[in-house]
Each structure stands twice: as C-alpha cells, then as structure tokens.
Structure 1
Amino acid sequence: MKISAKGRYGLAAMSHMAQNYQTGSPITIISIAEKLGISKIYLEQVFSLLKRSGLVNSIKGAQGGYQLALAPNKITVYAILAAIEIALVETTESTVKEQAPSLDAALRITVFNVIDRNLSETLKQISLNDIINEAEKQKPIDDFMYFI
C-alpha cells in the first residue's frame, strides 16, 4: 500500500498538532510547515480537506490558526486518511465482472473484501494518541539532559 505525499503530510501535521494539544493554543500552518519541513501551500490544501471533514477547527485573527476538533485519542488514522486519501478508503471495484463473473465474485470475496475490511479495521484502531506515544518512545536518548 502506498500513501500519497498529501496523506503522509496530513498524518504528520495532525500528529504534530496532537503533540501540542494540551496547550490549547491554535497552531499556524506556517509553524507546522517550518517544524516539519513541508510546503505551506501544500499544507493549506491538506488542512482544507481536514477542516471539511471536521477534524480540525480554524481560528481567525492574529492569534489564530488550527486546532484539533477532537482529542487525539478520538481521531484515528482512518479518519485522517479518509479525509485526504478518498480512493484509499473506497471499496475495490470489480475487475472482470463482464467476462468472468464467477472469477470476479471469487476475487471480491477472497481478496478484495478481505483487504478492504482489514485495512479499514487496522486504520481505525490507530489514534493520534498512539502515534504521539510512539514518537515519545522514539526520541533519541541525547534529548535528555544529564547533570553531573
């Protein structure tokens, strides 16, 4: 499975916002772009999709930006990718239905439906909270300050 750059950037941006969720302050697209090294224009497209799906709220004004619409443990990878990667979460279409209906049914039942169901179930089990918890575990040891 290959997730597009837009999907990967959306996951990264939402994870960054989840890491800063406790502050309660809106985060600007510019600050996310700088922190993650992503194009501001590209992120604007991503956030437009995320906002339309109700995953983020936009705050206008000098102190404005974006905030998660829900707590990080309530936002799943599935919800984020469904907002950005519409084709990824659609069911697989028939392939040879006209010419070989029995083969098409067999493929749908034994392969396509299984993949669609398992992918959906797996992505729904992973929340932003899971991602930020794993990110904490992955921080290098030299991030810690030692006093002698």
Structure 2
Amino acid sequence: MRISSKGRYALAAVTNMAQRYDSGEYATVINISKELGISKIYLEQVFSLLKRGGVVTSTKGAQGGYLLSRKPGQITVFEVLASVEDSLFERTQETVAENAMDIESALRITVFDTLDEVISETSQGITLLDLVNEAEKHKGEHEIMFYI
C-alpha cells in the first residue's frame, strides 16, 4: 500500500492540530506550513478536502482558521485518509475475470478483500489521539544535546 503525499501531509497536519486541541485556538495553514515544512499552497488543497470530509471545520477572518471537527480520540486515520485519498479505499478492479473467473475469485477472496479489510480495520482503530500520544514519546528524540 502506498499513501500519497496528500494523505501523509493530511495526517501530519491534523496530528499537529490534535497536539494543540485543548487550547481551542484555530490553526492556520500558514502556521502549520511553517511548523511542518509543507508547501502552503499544497496544504490549502489538503484542508479543502479535509473540510469536505468533515474532519475539520473552518472560520474566515483575522482570527479564523481550522479546528478539528471532533476530539482527537474521535477522529480516525481512516476518516482522514478517506477524505483526501481518492482510491485508497476503493474496491480493487477485476484482473482476469473474463478469461479466468476461478483465478479472479481466488485473488479477490484471498488477497484483495483480505488486504482491504485489514487496511480498513487498522486505520479505523487508530485515532488522532493515538498519534499524539506516540509523537509525545518521541519528542526531543532528535534534538542535539550539549554538554558542558
């Protein structure tokens, strides 16, 4: 499975927002862009899809920006990816159905349906709160230590 840069950036951006969820402050695309080193123009496209998918809400104006639509523990990775990834959760197309229906059935049942189910179940079982908690474990891991 390969998640596009749109999906990876969406997950990073909403995880960043989830880290600050309790503050109640709106997140701006500019701030997230600077903090994560992601193109502002690209993030605007991602947030448009996240808003359409119901993952975030927005408010216009000087004090505006984006907020998560629900608590981080209530938003799953599945929801985020389904909002921005066009084909990740689509059913796999038929491979050899016209000429070899037995092989097609075997592929569908043994491989494609099984993978689709595992990906769906796994991504539905991971919340933004899980990502925040995991990020906290690694905070400071890559900082340089200075000793005197």
Instruction: State TM-score, norm by structure 2.
Output: 0.93
Task: Give distance in 1, aligned partners of 2:74 and 2:58.
Answer: 18
Corresponding residue of 1:106: 106
Amino acid at match of 1:128: L
Deviations 1:74-119 (A, max 9, x none): 1100000000112011111211001101110111011110000011
List alignment gaps of at least 5 residues for structure 2. Answer: 144-148
Q: How does 1:76-87 map to 2 (within 5 A)?
A: 76-87=76-87
Judging by fraction of residues, say which structure has more helix.
Answer: 1
Overall identity of the aligned pairs, in %: 56
Give the ranges of 4+ consecutive aligned residues of structure 1 lying more than 4 Å apart after TM superposition: none
- Cα root mean square deviation, aligned: 1.2
Corresponding residue of 1:54: 54
Task: Give distance in 2, aligned partners of 1:107 and 1:142.
Answer: 43
Corresponding residue of 1:88: 88
Instruction: State TM-score, norm by structure 1.
Output: 0.93
Corresponding residue of 2:146: none
List alignment gaps of at least 5 residues for structure 1. Answer: 144-148
Corresponding residue of 1:23: 23
